[in-house]
Homo-oligomer: A and B are copies of this chain.
């Protein structure tokens, strides 16, 4: 029999705990190039589930899927300096094909604004129809100095949406709408509460006018930027000379948005919900919702038959299950199920068979339930719903308990030192933000909207300058 590996505890070493969980839960193996990973079946299945839900929303919004090239030519790169400056050090550059040198370098997309701008230009010149709302499911590559599986990979999977509109207001509203959807998706499907708001000038996307972000709190109280939507204004349209004709047949420059979420969310799911025994999946996104564990099935065929009965009921209820019919020890099977994160496990031994009884255990709080098999479908559904709600509640309480409001530099620095999310009245310069980062390690995560769930005052005094301001900014150490 294989011995289970030991998972480092979160308190001992959070970073090591994270890597232990994602490797032992078979989400990924390290790839051969720095910062790349092999998405294993379970890890990739999480992404497939995310894609399914998010894509259904896009279809409803009449956003159409496309696929655009991985390769960006030299002359595109030169068109949008500001945008590219942000990515330049990370650009993977192709200079050769076979043993022949290319005349011009080719770049691998770090994001596809340049390609969408090129496409929009041609389409609008041909059809003059706006808005155009597109999305692609693909990967992008950025050569990062520090990498972390899922959270910051050289190559990651994502969706990138790109739209172009005649109206500035319509475009900006559209970016906001997508950001609202991201918040909804994280909270309602991934059970991850977020704080959403606009990025500061310093933190916004290279080339954007406004960036709207959703920020989540990991169990070590670090922030994770979990999805963003950008209002790009006319920045790309101007550089690519995109024009449409308005009703008066006058040439006008349209407005763009772009927005994305990525496989980084897999890391967020792990870091928000899991524990020292391994992964805990929110039921709505779990690749396997119920593990069925056969005990002593080698000696007792009835156990196998009972497992199949259970499987049939779950299948009809559209609950994703997996049967562990291996010859491993009971302890190993339970441990293995806990490591891999199925929200529920059902344990079947000869006793259960004899009594037509289900022994169900919640992964998150180890609560045990015993009931007749006739109640299985109903109970399972209810308990899965309960787990989903409880995981969200737990994460939300953590977020609230560890977010503090401060009014002075001292309080600010102390709170950051204590690993809090810190909200402060703040109307300072990007340079000040940089100072703060250098001194405390914290960055501005977002400007809080007026209607945020924190009962903020109408105005305050910016903590450095003392200037009166109605802007409140969330700061935190982040991934």
Tell me, in angstroms, the Cα distance from A39 to B48 when the chains sit together. Answer: 21
A76 at the interface (CB under 8 A from B): yes
A258 at the interface (CB under 8 A from B): no
- Contact of B40 with A139 in the complex, beta carbons under 8 Å: no
- Contact of A71 with B29 in the complex, beta carbons under 8 Å: no
A466 at the interface (CB under 8 A from B): no
B interface footprint on A30-69 (CB within 8 Å = 1, 0 otherwise): 0111001111110011011000000000000000111111
- Contact of A65 with B41 in the complex, beta carbons under 8 Å: yes
A298 at the interface (CB under 8 A from B): no
- Contact of B33 with A143 in the complex, beta carbons under 8 Å: no
Tell me, in angstroms, the Cα distance from A157 to B137 when the chains sit together. Answer: 12
> Total interface residues on A, using CB and 8 Å?
52
- Which of A85-93, A175-183, A222-230, A430-438 binds B? A85-93
B-contacting residues, A124-164, CB 8 Å = 134, 139, 141, 143, 154-155, 157
With a cutoff of 8 Å between Cβ atoms, the chain B residues found around residue A37 in the complex are 69
Instruction: Tell which of A89, A96, A157 has the most Cβ of chain B within 10 Å.
Output: A96
With a cutoff of 8 Å between Cβ atoms, the chain B residues found around residue A68 in the complex are 31, 38-39
A122 at the interface (CB under 8 A from B): yes
- Contact of A72 with B32 in the complex, beta carbons under 8 Å: yes
With a cutoff of 8 Å between Cβ atoms, the chain B residues found around residue A106 in the complex are 33, 92
With a cutoff of 8 Å between Cβ atoms, the chain B residues found around residue A239 in the complex are none
Tell me, in angstroms, the Cα distance from A37 to B66 when the chains sit together. Answer: 11
A319 at the interface (CB under 8 A from B): no
With a cutoff of 8 Å between Cβ atoms, the chain B residues found around residue A108 in the complex are 94, 108
B-contacting residues, A92-109, CB 8 Å = 92-99, 105-106, 108
Which of B66, B73, B89, B90 lies in contact with A33, CB distance below 8 A?
B73
A115 at the interface (CB under 8 A from B): yes
Tell me, in angstroms, the Cα distance from A46 to B76 when the chains sit together. Answer: 29
Which of B67, B69, B94 lies in contact with A94, CB distance below 8 A?
B94
Q: In this complex, what residue of B is CB-closest to A37?
A: B69
A118 at the interface (CB under 8 A from B): yes
Instruction: Tell which of A37, A66, A76 has the most Cβ of chain B within 10 Å.
Output: A66
Which of B66, B76, B105, B155 lies in contact with A32, CB distance below 8 A?
B76
With a cutoff of 8 Å between Cβ atoms, the chain B residues found around residue A89 in the complex are 97-99
With a cutoff of 8 Å between Cβ atoms, the chain B residues found around residue A48 in the complex are 65
Tell me, in angstroms, the Cα distance from A70 to B32 when the chains sit together. Answer: 11
Which of B38, B67, B119 lies in contact with A119, CB distance below 8 A?
B38
- Contact of A70 with B139 in the complex, beta carbons under 8 Å: yes
Which of B32, B39, B66 lies in contact with A67, CB distance below 8 A?
B39
Tell me, in angstroms, the Cα distance from A36 to B112 when the chains sit together. Answer: 14
Instruction: Give the shortest distance, in Å, between A206 (CB) and chain B (any CB).
Output: 14
Which of B65, B66, B105 lies in contact with A38, CB distance below 8 A?
B66
Tell me, in angstroms, the Cα distance from A39 to B115 when the chains sit together. Answer: 12
- Contact of B71 with A118 in the complex, beta carbons under 8 Å: no
- Contact of A44 with B32 in the complex, beta carbons under 8 Å: no
Instruction: Give the shortest distance, in Å, between A407 (CB) and chain B (any CB).
Output: 42
Known: A44-B67, A70-B141. A90 touches B97 (CB 8 A): yes
Additional A-B contact list (13), CB under 8 Å, known A31-B115, A93-B94: A29-B123, A32-B71, A32-B115, A33-B73, A38-B66, A38-B68, A38-B115, A38-B119, A41-B64, A44-B64, A70-B155, A88-B98, A91-B98
Which 3 interchain pairs have the tightest Cβ spacing?
A: A41-B64, A36-B69, A93-B96
